[in-house]
Amino acid sequence: MNKSKDTIAAFHFPQPFKHTHPPVKNVNDILEEQSTFGQRTADKLALGMGSWKFIIIQSLILILWIIINVIAWIYHWDPYPFILMNLVLSLQAAYAAPIIMMSQNRQDIRDRLEAHNDYAINKKSEEEIKALLEHTTIQNEALQEIHRLLLKLNPSADQ
């Protein structure tokens, strides 16, 4: 009987897993803390310019511009071939492209932060899974030893 106590006592159960890593932060919160007024403005403008609402409103304004200048009998502020309208659209495109690029650059930064967070989470998960597997393996060995000892005490239970 003394030998069985020594066998059970020989099992070394690991200490509970300790979370020593810093908490993972929300990427949106990090970017909001770091973003400047200009960056937030670029994001909002790019979001607006990339919408159906913007396309529809701009199309209606251009159609109205053309109609007014084609049928205006007294004053044509931009007669055909609509040079002023082309200038306005060129200016819009000249400013829209860099604003959209600024927003895309911020999206790239967000993607890199999210990839880093995913890596950190995967690394932490791997450590926790290893600890769980170690606990499970030792518990299985202990249960097998307990089962073996119970069978020794009551050999008829094996049948």
pLDDT in tens, 131-148: 899 999 988 988 998 888
CB 12 within 8 A of CB 134: no
Query: Does some domain include residue 104?
Result: yes
* Inter-axis angle of helices 83-153 and 27-34, nearest 10: 140
CB 158 within 8 A of CB 151: yes
Query: Does some domain include residue 46?
Result: yes
Confidence of residue 87 (pLDDT cuts 50, 70, 90): very high
Query: Does some domain include residue 15?
Result: no
Check whether 1 has a pLDDT greater than 50. no
User: Average of pLDDT values for 41-70?
Assistant: 92
The number of folded domains in the chain is 1
In the prediction, which pLDDT does 119 show? Answer: 92
pTM (whole model) above 0.75:
no
Query: Does some domain include residue 5?
Result: no
Query: Does some domain include residue 34?
Result: yes
Query: Does some domain include residue 7?
Result: no
Domain hosting 99: range is 29-158
CB 81 within 8 A of CB 18: no
Which two structure tokens, joined as six digits, stand for 83? Answer: 């040079």
Query: Does some domain include residue 2?
Result: no
Average pLDDT value for the chain: 86
Query: Does some domain include residue 120?
Result: yes
When mean pLDDT is compared over 6-15, 29-38, 67-76, the highest value belongs to 29-38
